[in-house]
Amino acid sequence: MFWPALQGFWLALTNWDGLSAPRFVGFGNFGDMVSDPIFRTALKNTAIWLVLFGGLSVIGGFGMALLLQRERRGVGIYRAALFTPVVFSLVVTALIWRVFYQPDGLVDTVFRSVGLGNFVRPWLADPDTALYAVIVPALWRQIGYVMVLYLAGLKAVDPALYEAAKVDGASAWQRTRYVTIPQLKGVNSVVLSVIVIDSLRSFDIVWSMTRGGPYHSSELLSTYMYSTAFQSTQLGYASAIAVVIFVLALAVILGYLIRAFREES
Amino acid sequence: MIRRVGYHVAMSVVSFLWVAPILWVIVISFRSFDDVAANGLGSLPHSFTFSTYKSAWEDADEFRALINSLLVTIPAVLLSLGLASIAAYGLARYNLPFRRTILLLMLMGNLLPPQILLIPISRFVELIGYYDTLIALIAVHVGFGLGFYTFVLHGFMRDLPREIQEAATIDGAGPGKIYSAVILPLTRPALAALGALSFTWIFNDLLWSITVIRSGEKMPVTPALLGLQGLFVSSWNVIAAGTVIAAVPTVAVFLRFQKHFVGGLAIGAVK
């Protein structure tokens, strides 16, 4: 497991087409990235992805968990409905939504029927909308997952705390803000790591919907890395992109851990 | 009262919107090609046919792809859980040196983004002559899952009372016997949860399949579904049928192990 990872780091410092022997180029690959416009798009898109996909799935998942935390009639059905997409593979998810986005598909029909016909466009084939058209199905699947994590966390919160807050006259919003959220610190760190890692390795959904296109407009670092490695066989350069992904994941997670650690001491 | 009705109405609408895409694709999968061509994908169905499923199953050979998927998924799940439970047993019940370090390393391996391993592993698999075989895919999944499963099972086994093990030792049971007759049966809930989870993870994998496997007839169903798009360009009803077929096994596992499944996802969160 770690041996191949080390090999990956070594390859990042080489120029390798997979046929001849790897040639050592030092940090040349990383220098090339700076002037590679596709890499810059992919980096920017990955950042957008992290903020939109990560942020909205936490907000959505947490909101849904708050709404569905109390055991009462019907809640089981609502939870199951939100959770169903999680069991699908991302390829299945992608195809379901591709059917939607087709010209004259349901999305277009709905837009036309509410009088927004002017906005109709080839959602996945338009460079302006492709990335966002891919984020929607990714969110559709992730929100249910995050919801389950938060539901488990909410269950572990001591009900006596709410009672105490209620007696003290705290409103529902204050109880959420000052009791629930601080109590969920542990879950938050798990959710954050899950989200960051999921965002950085998001590959399946983009690959199945657009392959990073059109004109690299929905390219993420992970898809760019894959196509550089296995379609244009620049293995050294691809390894260097993989190292960037690795460092980003590590930085975000370590940053969070250090902050959480400081707050504790 | 009004608030409660409002809550249920709102949640019903949200739930319906959430499953609507799935229902819509199922509806499309039963529509005939002429119907789709004449009325568009956004219209209500005017026809009913099974021929789409026949095309996906036979012409696109999803049958074989499903078999491939099961040939990979089932051994990979059994093997990785078996090995992980042995490792977790050793780490949780015996005072092995460096056990915390080993556990941490295993978990860290799981946090690595797979991209860093893609090229080295694909080259390695090629080097030892297992490129384009299902065995290579099984090995990759076992290697990848092992760390996380060991971590979870370790946490679970550690919480089992010490006395059970002591009693079994007094009765003359060796480590192997304790593992198989005492610890393993007690770990069943965790194993079921991880089994259900890992089944869907491995079954749903795309990245490793397209990295390690090349030939179409060896592709598991998840990547094969992508090929379907190329084969039936714009026959969205057939693609919808293929999508439904590919989703059935994980939905079946989910429904069968629903409690374990959700519990399994939660294990990580509370730990």
Residues paired with residue B244 on neighbouring β-strands, in sequence order: none
- Is residue A64 a part of any domain in this protein? yes
- Is residue A101 a part of any domain in this protein? yes
Q: What is the DSSP string of B189-246?
A: HHHHHHHHHHHHHHHT--HHHHHH--SGGG--HHHHHHHHHHHTTT-HHHHHHHHHHH
Count up the domains in chain B and report the number.
1
The 10s digit of each residue's pLDDT in B36-70 is 777 777 677 777 888 888 887 877 788 888 888 89
Domain residues for the domain of B144 are: 52-270
Closest A-chain CA to B44: A106
The enclosing domain of B114 has a CATH number of 1.10.3720.10
Mean pLDDT, chain A, integer: 81
Mean pLDDT confidence for B64-83: 90
Task: Report d(CA B226, CA B254) in Å as an integer.
Answer: 23
Residues 50-89 of B with CB under 8 A from A: none
A243 to chain B nearest CA, in Å? 6
pLDDT confidence of residue A265:
60
Mean pLDDT confidence for A166-195: 79
Q: What is the band of B270 on the pLDDT scale with cuts at 50, 70, 90? A: very low
Of all helices (H) and strands (E), which one includes residue B72? helix B62-93
- Is residue A254 a part of any domain in this protein? yes
Among B41, B262, B270, select the one facing A153 at the smallest CB separation: B270
- Is residue A229 a part of any domain in this protein? yes
Are the C-beta atoms of residues B182 and B165 closer than 8 Å to each other? yes
Mean pLDDT confidence for B95-114: 75
Count up the domains in chain A and report the number.
1
pLDDT at position B268 over 60? no
Q: What percent of chain A is modeled with pLDDT above 90?
A: 2
Cβ contact (<8 Å) for A225 and B118?
Answer: yes
Cβ contact (<8 Å) for A89 and B117?
Answer: no
- Is residue B12 a part of any domain in this protein? no
The enclosing domain of A216 has a CATH number of 1.10.3720.10
Model-level pTM? 0.83
Q: What is the DSSP string of B151-187?
A: HHHHHHHHTS-HHHHHHHHHTT--HHHHIIIIIHHHT
- Is residue B24 a part of any domain in this protein? no
First vs last Cα of chain A: how many Å apart? 34
- Is residue A5 a part of any domain in this protein? no
B231 lies within 8 A of chain A by CB? no
Of all helices (H) and strands (E), which one includes residue A242? helix A235-264
Q: What is the band of A260 on the pLDDT scale with cuts at 50, 70, 90? A: low
- Is residue A15 a part of any domain in this protein? no
Q: What is the band of B80 on the pLDDT scale with cuts at 50, 70, 90? A: very high
pLDDT at position B269 over 70? no
Chain CA centroid to CA A4, Å: 25
Q: Is the ipTM of this complex over 0.90?
A: no
Q: Locate B180 and state its tokens.
A: 């198989």
- Is residue B256 a part of any domain in this protein? yes
Q: What is the band of A2 on the pLDDT scale with cuts at 50, 70, 90? A: low
B117 lies within 8 A of chain A by CB? yes
Domain residues for the domain of A212 are: 28-264
- Is residue A106 a part of any domain in this protein? yes
pLDDT at position A119 over 50? yes
Q: Which chain B residues have a beta carbon less than 8 Å from that of A98?
A: 229, 239
pLDDT at position A7 over 80? no
pLDDT at position A78 over 80? yes
- Is residue B23 a part of any domain in this protein? no
- Is residue B41 a part of any domain in this protein? no
Task: Report d(CA B66, CA B60) in Å as an integer.
Answer: 11
- Is residue A19 a part of any domain in this protein? no
B24 lies within 8 A of chain A by CB? yes
Mean pLDDT confidence for A194-220: 81
Q: What is the band of B78 on the pLDDT scale with cuts at 50, 70, 90? A: very high
